[in-house]
Amino acid sequence: MNLKSKSALLAPLAASFLLSFDEDGNRDTKYFSVVTFSPGGLDIKLFVSAFSGKAEVLDNPFRVCIWEKLRENPNPNRYKVTEYRLLNINSTKFAKVQEETKTSE
């Protein structure tokens, strides 16, 4: 895998980053991860793969949406959008809370 991008997150966590990876030899497969760094070390909060996708970070409450292009769909702008977030202040990992199909503008 190749690191494609790294974005710092303004999140209610320790130092946090959204990482995006491409798979070697397969440009359609994307991997997204939310990681935090604290005095105790590295914590992976989320790691998901998507077909030709993108990630979006939202706040109030803090959450991450993964946009995954629908395979074999005649409309190239149709995506499955999955939302992940921390369920409560004591959560250690993101949980899937919603999934829907949307058209990208």
Of residues 57, 43, 56, the one with CA closest to residue 13: 43
Domain hosting residue 55, numbered range:
2-103
pTM of the model: 0.82
When divided into structural domains, the chain yields a total of 1
Residue 5, amino acid: S
For residue 44, give both structure tokens.
């992976």
Contact 86, 94 (CB under 8 A): yes
CATH number of the domain bearing residue 53? 2.40.128
For residue 80, give both structure tokens.
């499955």
pLDDT values of the chain reduced to their tens digit, one per residue, 105 residues? 888 888 888 766 578 889 999 888 887 889 999 998 877 788 888 899 998 888 988 876 778 999 998 887 777 788 999 999 888 877 888 899 999 998 887
